[in-house]
Amino acid sequence: MRYVMLMTQYRLTPLAASLPSTVPFVGPETQERVQGSQFAARLGANESVFGPSPRAMEAMAAAQQWMYGDPESFELRSALAAHHSVTPEHIIVGEGIDGLLGYLVRLMIAPGDPVITSDGAYPTFNYHVAGYGGILHTVPYLDDREDVTALFKKASEKDAKLVYLANPDNPMGSWHAGEKITKALDMLPQGCLLILDEAYIECAQNEVVPALNADDPRLIRMRTFSKAYGLAGARVGYAIGTPDLIAAFGKVRNHFGMNRAAQAGALAALQDAGWLAHVQGQIATTRDRIAQIATHNGLLPLPSAANFVAIDCGRDGTFAKAVLDGLVARGIFVRMPFATPQNRCIRVSCGTPADMDAFAAALPEALNDAKNGLTRA
């Protein structure tokens, strides 16, 4: 009997074949593997080095991981609904805001559909839009803030299905008063959905939080346990929207994507208001320390309502990248905006006092190398 060996060639969709095999961010672990050493201070991913609630850690340790997680995340959704004075039907839980953005784009965007965002805003959203064939249209920042009026005007011009707005903003840390966003919704064109990314809202002043109706069909709000709650590794995010829109996520979501430990940890974190207040105080104190370090070195720290500070290096993106490279070479992991003119800045996450000391020691050396056009292996 003769056996014929056949070569089977996989066949990607034309859209998938056209996309680069890349990720929106290069992780610090990748950089550590390349350089052969660990960072002394991890100040680039806006994680909370202050950690999650001890109650959350206990709950996660006690979770029986041999069982699948509840596909409805019932207890967590119920607690979130009570926290926001809505019904559980207004809440969807998913694998971080990133996962929920992917599901929403899959639900809303067909190849060629227009989507609006700011030039330099969160790149993972752009990644999902490209992944489903949407066409991104961008507007520039205005005074280092996302321009709400310009975003909504562009949405009208392009008859967009989605418009993305982060408040507070990443990567600049800037913000709009909640009242402004509430009023601006009247400018949103018919048939367009606003994605309001509030990942950093727990780090902000109360005035930043808009009073919005969860039954408003023009809006979906997204929040996370990755920032102030300190559970970035657990991947827990949630969205608040109209019950019919929230129900639509059931068409496409990974129903077993939320593991038991993540659900238990998020629930315990939500219930520990004292720990959240403690972390919020740490963030405020550390933002001041970052600003002091920047000012001491002749740089300009920008006001921030997030758990990081954007520091204006005073020149262009090439110079800021040189400063960043100098910090990375000295074991300080930071990031920077990728669009002009915001890329004149570096972005420094809040860290421990030891992290801040390491940053303070490395920054003047990195600046000196950048000014002299030097690189350090």
What residues contact residue 362 under an 8 Å CB cut-off, 6+ apart?
A: 326, 327, 330, 331, 332
224 and 125 within one domain: yes
What is the predicted pLDDT for the residue at 4? Answer: 52
pLDDT of residue 14: 93
Residue 231 and residue 84 share a domain:
yes
Which of residues 246, 271, 296 is at a domain's end?
Answer: 271
pLDDT at 91 over 90: yes
**Mean pLDDT for all residues in the chain:** 95
- Residue reference for tokens 């000014």: 371
Position 16, amino acid: A
292 in the same domain as 206: no
Judge whether 178 lies within some domain.
Answer: yes
pLDDT band at 174 (very low <50, low <70, confident <90, very high): very high
Calculate mean pLDDT across residues 240-254.
Answer: 98
C-alpha–C-alpha distance, residues 58 and 52, integer Å: 10
The answer to whether residues 209 and 150 belong to one domain is yes
Round to whole Å and give the CA distance between 171 and 174: 8
pLDDT of residue 9: 77
Based on the fold, state whether residues 78 and 136 are members of the same structural domain: yes
What is the rounded average pLDDT of the residues 287-291? Answer: 98
- Residue 167 sits in the same domain as residue 238: yes
Q: Which pLDDT does position 369 carry in this prediction?
A: 96
Among the three residues 243, 271, 299, which one is the final residue of a domain in this structure?
A: 271
- For CA atoms 333, 203, 275, 82, the dihedral sign is negative
User: 45 in a domain, yes or no?
Assistant: yes
Residue 25 has a pLDDT of 81
Q: Is 8 within a domain?
A: no
Is 6 inside any structural domain?
no
Question: Is position 88 within any domain?
Answer: yes
Instruction: Answer whether residue 45 shows pLDDT above 60.
Output: yes
Q: What is the mean pLDDT of residues 137-148?
A: 98
Q: How far is CA 248 from the centre of its chain?
A: 23
Residue 23: the pLDDT is 79
Of 271, 294, 328, the residue that ends a domain is: 271
The CATH number linked to 142 is: 3.40.640.10
Q: What pLDDT digit, counting tens, does each position of 184-200 carry?
A: 999 999 999 999 999 99
**Mean pLDDT along residues 135-151:** 98
pLDDT in tens, 311-324: 999 999 999 999 99
Report if residue 5 sits inside a domain.
no
Has residue 227 got a pLDDT over 70?
A: yes
Do 99 and 214 lie in a common domain? yes
Residues 86, 234, single domain; the answer is yes
3-class secondary-structure state, position 110: coil
Q: What is the pLDDT of residue 69?
A: 96
Cα dist from 171 to 71, 217, 342, whole Å = 33, 28, 9
How many structural domains compose the chain? 2
- Judge if 290 and 316 occupy the same domain: yes
Same domain, residue pair 44 and 58: no
9 lies in some domain = no
- Residue for token pair 């929106």: 24
- 257 located within any domain: yes
CATH of the domain at 308: 3.90.1150.10
* 221 and 344 part of one domain: no
Residues 184 and 321 reside in one and the same domain:
no
Q: Which of 15-24, 64-73, 362-371 has the lowest mean pLDDT?
A: 15-24
Is residue 104 within a helix (H) or strand (E), and if so which, with residue range?
helix 96-108
**Structural domain that includes position 153:** 54-271
pLDDT at 1: 46
Is it the case that residue 304 has pLDDT exceeding 80? yes
Around Cβ 112, how many Cβ atoms within 10 Å?
8
pTM > 0.75: yes or no: yes
- The percentage of residues in the chain with a pLDDT greater than 90, rounded to a whole number, is 93
pLDDT at 8: 60
For residue 186, count other CB atoms closer than 10 A to its CB.
Answer: 8
237's enclosing H/E stretch is strand 237-240
Tokens 């694998």 correspond to what residue? Answer: 95
Q: Residue 132's pLDDT is what?
A: 97
Average pLDDT over residues 1-24: 77
State residue 26's pLDDT score: 86
